[in-house]
Amino acid sequence: MAVDQRRSPSASERKRDPERTRARIIEAAAAEFGAKGYAAARTSDIAARAGVNKQLISYYFGGKEGLYKELATSWHGTAAEMASQEQPLDAVLASFVATTLTDHGRVWAWSNLADDSPSTDQEFLRAQVDQLRDRQAAGELPADLDPGLLLLTLMAAAAAPLTLRQTARQITGEDPGTREFAEKYAAQLALLVRHLSGRT
Amino acid sequence: MAVDQRRSPSASERKRDPERTRARIIEAAAAEFGAKGYAAARTSDIAARAGVNKQLISYYFGGKEGLYKELATSWHGTAAEMASQEQPLDAVLASFVATTLTDHGRVWAWSNLADDSPSTDQEFLRAQVDQLRDRQAAGELPADLDPGLLLLTLMAAAAAPLTLRQTARQITGEDPGTREFAEKYAAQLALLVRHLSGRT
DNA sequence: GATTAAGTCAACCCATTGGTTGATAACGGA
DNA sequence: TCCGTTATCAACCAATGGGTTGACTTAATC
């Protein structure tokens, strides 16, 4: 360790780095909460995974619950971006399927079952509903469906490998958590919405 | 309490009734596990809800986990029946939507997220896949879809008010746990599969 | 009626878990 | 270089929660 440490302290070789520590804790929390859900997740496990003393969870986030809330709100920004870009419906569904494989997605699924926190970003949902309405107006989707409920159906369908994880495994015999499965499933969904749009 | 208790002991006015006690505990467990999930559910709450001493959970089921497993397997019989009857697809979906409002359904959803227990009955799933394949052969559903994945999609879609509970609430502004919502949603799904089948 | 078995409960036990404390080390500015 | 602040940690703490113990009560059997 003969490296001069006084200069350029932002490099990765630092003894103390609050930013990095915070980030590591959040990342570890996403993994743990995502894997086991809030109640079953252990703060000591989160700290261990982050490679950090568990007291730092209190120090930075005010405890387990604070950390969870931070996590829940932290990706609202990300979702908002995703909403803005106009893509073919296939692509939207595919990207949604993809996010269900992330830790974020898993936490989202857990939080959807519990009735504690506001899970999804309102902006995102509104934008998506509007987009569906547009597609209906353009004849891309049947006009007699309620766009809100349709969005709900499509999101649930896309999230199936996550929310119905065990069932998916039992039906297909494969692990629904892999990228291959997600791609195959997304392809199937694309096929399905094509049928929906009338063009067989 | 001047009622003669010695005669006809199977009536509801008994001091001790193991059957009833067992049933009450199971019922209470379904409610608690369904509401909060396994990890967050408290055995004392289950006992309290059942109006019974919490030790009886150990006595009858060997503890929290035993109770949970009992619960998980207890409705496999019920599901099997549901599978056998040949109904129009609308009806199948509707009954599936309906079961997502029950405590059973909620527990099922939780157990699907966690990777602990075998959640759904294998028989049931196989039967449903076969049924879908038949419908494809009959031209009722597009033949180019994989029947297994299609079942997954349909189940996920039907379970949306449960698995995407918070999101559903945010999208529609209503409580997705009510019977009215379930009916409205089932109607929407019926409409959707009709579009799928080609007959616009 | 006596004896045994089954059912139920109040009280206690102890491992787990989230959180706190106080000490210590690193960093940055005077 | 010294000092105050910030970051980090090991050890400790209180509460929670699932489980057990032992006593007591009801029901069935002889």
pLDDT digits (tens, 9 = 90+) for B74-115: 877 676 666 667 899 999 999 999 999 999 999 999 999 998
Rounded Cα gap, residues B191 and B194, in angstroms: 5
**Closest C1' nucleotide to B15's CA:** D26
Rounded Cα gap, residues B175 and B180, in angstroms: 9
Look at residues A163, A159, A160, A191 and name the one whose alpha carbon lies nearest to residue A90: A191
CB < 7 A to strand D: residues 27-66, chain B: 41-44, 54-55, 57-58, 63-65
- Does residue B8 carry a pLDDT above 60? no
Q: What is the mean pLDDT of chain B?
A: 89
pLDDT digits (tens, 9 = 90+) for B132-153: 999 999 999 999 999 999 999 9
- Characterise A63 by phi-psi region: left (phi > 0), alpha (psi -120 to 50), beta (else): left
Is A177 among the domain residues?
yes
Best A106, A153, A169, A184 residue to mutate vs chain B (most B CBs within 10 Å): A153
Å from A23 to nearest chain B CA? 26
pLDDT, average across residues A148-161: 98
Best B192, B196, B200 residue to mutate vs chain A (most A CBs within 10 Å): B192
Cβ-contact A177, A161 below 8 angstroms: yes
- Give the pair of three-digit tokens for residue A78: 């990300």
Rounded Cα gap, residues B57 and B74, in angstroms: 16
Nucleic strand C within 7 A of Cβ B21: yes
Residues B118, A170: C-beta atoms closer than 8 Å: yes
Rounded Cα gap, residues A41 and A51, in angstroms: 16
pLDDT, average across residues A133-157: 97
Cβ-contact B134, A173 below 8 angstroms: no
Residues A164, B151: C-beta atoms closer than 8 Å: no
Nucleic strand C within 7 A of Cβ B25: no
Is A38 among the domain residues?
no
Rounded Cα gap, residues A127 and A31, in angstroms: 28
Structural domain span for residue B98:
65-198
- Does residue A118 carry a pLDDT above 50? yes
Cβ-contact B24, B52 below 8 angstroms: yes
pLDDT score at B16: 77
Q: How confident is the model at residue B2 (pLDDT cuts 50, 70, 90)?
A: very low
Is A100 among the domain residues?
yes
Partners of residue B97 in chain A, C-beta under 8 Å: none
- Does residue B127 carry a pLDDT above 60? yes
CA A10 to chain centre: 30
pLDDT digits (tens, 9 = 90+) for A20-53: 999 999 999 999 999 999 999 999 999 999 999 9
**Given B39, B172, B192, which is nearest A37 (Cβ)?**
B39
pLDDT, average across residues B50-55: 97
Residues A114, B185: C-beta atoms closer than 8 Å: no
Rounded Cα gap, residues A105 and A117, in angstroms: 15
pLDDT score at B80: 66
- Characterise A126 by phi-psi region: left (phi > 0), alpha (psi -120 to 50), beta (else): alpha
Q: What is the pTM of this model?
A: 0.90
CB-contacted nucleotides of strand D (7 Å)? 6-11, 17-22, 25-28
Cβ-contact A140, A197 below 8 angstroms: yes
pLDDT score at B121: 81
pLDDT, average across residues A159-187: 97
pLDDT, average across residues A172-178: 97
Please name the amino acid found at residue B117.
S
Residues B167, A118: C-beta atoms closer than 8 Å: no
pLDDT score at A174: 97
- Give the pair of three-digit tokens for residue A53: 């003393």
Task: State the nearest residue by CA to the C1' of C11.
Answer: B55
pLDDT digits (tens, 9 = 90+) for B180-200: 999 999 999 999 999 998 765
Q: What is the mean pLDDT of chain A?
A: 89
Best B140, B164, B184 residue to mutate vs chain A (most A CBs within 10 Å): B164
Q: From the CB of residue A19, how many other CB atoms can be counted at a distance below 10 Å?
A: 9
Q: Give the CA-to-C1' distance from B58 to C10 in angstroms.
A: 15
pLDDT digits (tens, 9 = 90+) for A68-98: 999 988 877 666 666 667 899 999 999 999 9
- Does residue A13 carry a pLDDT above 60? no
Q: Which residues contact B189 (CB under 8 A, 6 or more apart)?
A: A153, B90, B93, B94, B97, B157, B158
Cβ-contact A104, A75 below 8 angstroms: yes
Is B60 among the domain residues?
no
pLDDT score at B72: 84
Is B5 among the domain residues?
no
pLDDT score at A121: 81
Give the total number of structural domains in chain B: 1
- Give the pair of three-digit tokens for residue A155: 């999101």
Residues B115, A166: C-beta atoms closer than 8 Å: yes
A&B contacts, CB < 8 Å: 181
Rounded Cα gap, residues A177 and A154, in angstroms: 19
Cite the DSSP H helix spans in chain A: 18-36, 43-50, 55-61, 64-74, 76-84, 89-99, 103-113, 122-137, 147-158, 160-163, 165-172, 179-196
Is B190 among the domain residues?
yes
Å from A162 to nearest chain B CA? 7
**Given B39, B166, B170, which is nearest A40 (Cβ)?**
B39
**Closest C1' nucleotide to A42's CA:** C17
CATH of the domain at B105: 1.10.357
- CA torsion, points B83, B87, B92, B94, in degrees to nearest 10? -140
Q: How confident is the model at residue A161 (pLDDT cuts 50, 70, 90)?
A: very high
Is A73 among the domain residues?
yes
DSSP-derived secondary structure for B80-92:
HHHHHS---HHHH
pLDDT score at A10: 40
- Give the pair of three-digit tokens for residue B190: 């019926």
CA atoms within 13 A on the CB side of A142: 23
Residues A145, B191: C-beta atoms closer than 8 Å: yes
Please name the amino acid found at residue B151.
L
Nucleic strand C within 7 A of Cβ B18: yes
Rounded Cα gap, residues A101 and A165, in angstroms: 11
Is A16 among the domain residues?
no
Partners of residue B200 in chain A, C-beta under 8 Å: 142, 198
Rounded Cα gap, residues A26 and A185, in angstroms: 30
